[in-house]
A = this chain, B = another copy of it.
Amino acid sequence: MIKEIAQITIKPGMDKQFEQGVSQATPLFLRSHGCHGVQLFRSIEQPDQYTLVVDWETVDDHMVLFRESPEFQQWRGLVAETFAAPPNVHHVSKVL
């Protein structure tokens, strides 16, 4: 199991629209192959910065199967207009 970590900066004032979009998109993630959970965090110091954490079985479940699926297009359709810049995405594995 690995985690996708997506750092997302939104346009000022679009926090409610973004959070609602993530909430609506959660079932799109959860029905995708290898997805085991979605969490959203908001920066306390920089409230326009969010961190989306998605649990996947493998990096390919995210980067190949999900990215090439209709669910990815729907996810981006729900939130893309709230993004101030392209998300910064990487993957991590748990050490401790």
Contact = CB atoms under 8 A, between A and B. Distances in A.
Given A44-B59, A44-B90, A45-B90, A96 B39 contact: yes
A6 interface: no
B42 A93 contact: yes
Counting every copy of the chain, the complex holds: 2
B92 A22 contact: no
Interface residues of A, number: 27
A50 interface: yes
Interface centre among A23, A50, A51 (most CB of B within 10 A): A51
Contact of A93 (B2, B26, B44, B93): B44
Interface of A: 2-3, 5, 19, 22-23, 26, 38-46, 49-51, 59, 90-96
